[in-house]
Amino acid sequence: MNPPLLEVNSLRTYFNTPAGLSRAVDGVSFALLPGETMAIVGESGSGKSITALSIMQLVPEPAGFIESGTIQFNGKDLLDLTWEQMRSIRGRQISMIFQEPMTSLNPVFTIGFQIREAMLTHGKYRGDAATARAHSLLERVGMNSPDKVLRQYPHELSGGMRQRVMIAIALANEPQLLLADEPTTALDVTIQAQILTLLRDLQRDTGMSMLLITHDLGIVSQVADKVAVMYAGQIVEQAPTRDLLSNPHHPYTQGLIASLPSRSRRGNALFTLEGVVPPPTRWPGGCRFHDRCSKRMEICNTQMPSTTSQGEYRSVRCHLYPSAEAVTSQEPTR
Ligand SMILES: Nc1ncnc2c1ncn2[C@@H]1O[C@H](COP(=O)(O)OP(=O)(O)O)[C@@H](O)[C@H]1O
Ligand SMILES: [Mg+2]
């Protein structure tokens, strides 16, 4: 089997805040194979974006810092690299797109300038080659008149078109890994579907790996090979997408699936998960999900469950699934 392209191990990313230490990402481990797409799903505040920013080493400083863990990319720990070395990986081997493309595009430069600039920074394409590539990238992301778009400014484009431009910029240097953080959340539903299809097609054409971050479990089946469900700074369940959707193990995953609006119910979910993700300065003791869990047992109030494997491709962090083969046995209990 291929070695993973990306392997995150026991990642902890914390913030010093006026309210105390915020353990936003608190022991996250996963691996992504070359050409694989993994979705990270979870409610707002569960630590998804900070996980992606940690990989890019763009955690807001000085409040935020990577407390411990490793982030192996092509077998090398990104956390050992210098700032310069990391800068040359960013935008070249690893690219990232965000929810709101307007904040990533510079309002005073044309689209053409910004796509060429992304290529020049890394020196892979120059001059006429860069212009030609900018043109073909815009075609590839579904722009009808690439020539016109090259001369336009960000505010002249719709939200969906701007996100396509951001995808073109992200792909300009043929990255091996694309981190897509809620790339469709700000868009209309029809445009969302188009952008997801585009991302899936581009991933297949280029063979890159993709980490798709979303709060919407409903969109993962279209794109992701596997899913990691995050809750309160931890991954509580990981499984191939089909297995996770048809047979969720963790009560939190079950709750997320039950609250999906289904077509037969005309868009209304029958079930809503009560409560919210607690603040990361005050994670609950025991299982962090215990106060919202419909299957809570006595032990859940006091002991944090460890992550146990469920066969080769699945794992779950829940006392309902005890196992001799605990994957992470040295977890603190709080
Ligand atoms: N700049 C910051 N300073 C302090 N805390 C932060 C900062 N950014 C994020 N956090 C904390 O990290 C938690 C997780 O954030 P995030 O990864 O953005 O969640 P998600 O993307 O899952 O909605 C947030 O609830 C917040 O408390
Ligand atoms: Mg986020």
pLDDT tens digit string along 193-236?
999 999 999 999 999 999 999 999 999 998 999 999 999 999 99
CA distance 164 to 198: 9
In a domain, 239, yes or no: no
Average pLDDT score, the chain:
92
In a domain, 41, yes or no: no
Q: What is the pLDDT of residues 299-317, one digit of tens each?
A: 999 999 999 998 889 999 9
Give residue 327's pLDDT: 53
Q: Which ligand is nearest to the CA of 100?
A: 2
Q: Which residues make Cβ contacts (< 8 Å) with residue 103, sequence separation at least 6?
A: none
Closest atom of ligand 1 to CA, residue 181: 21
In a domain, 124, yes or no: yes
- Band of pLDDT at residue 6, cut at 50, 70 and 90: very high
DSSP string for residues in 144-164: S-HHHHHH--GGGS-HHHHHH
Closest atom of ligand 1 to CA, residue 230: 22
CB-based contact 212:178 (threshold 8 Å): no
Tell which one of 17, 22, 252 to mutate to probe ligand 1, the residue whose CB is within 8 A of the most ligand atoms: 22
Closest atom of ligand 1 to CA, residue 52: 17
280 Cβ closer than 6 Å to some ligand 1 atom: yes
- pTM metric for this prediction: 0.93
In a domain, 95, yes or no: no
In a domain, 134, yes or no: yes
Question: Has residue 108 got a pLDDT over 70?
Answer: yes
Give residue 110's pLDDT: 97
Q: Which ligand is nearest to the CA of 235?
A: 1
Angle, CA 215 vertex, CA 212 and CA 216 arms, to 5°: 90
Q: Which range is least confidently modeled, 118-122, 173-177, 196-200, 228-232? A: 118-122
63 Cβ closer than 6 Å to some ligand 1 atom: yes
Q: Which domain holds residue 141?
A: 108-174
Closest atom of ligand 1 to CA, residue 46: 22
In a domain, 113, yes or no: yes
Tell which one of 50, 65, 216 to mutate to probe ligand 1, the residue whose CB is within 8 A of the most ligand atoms: 50
The arithmetic mean of pLDDT across residues 11-25, rounded, is: 97
In a domain, 127, yes or no: yes
CA distance 131 to 113: 9
What is the number of domains present in the chain? 1
In a domain, 258, yes or no: no
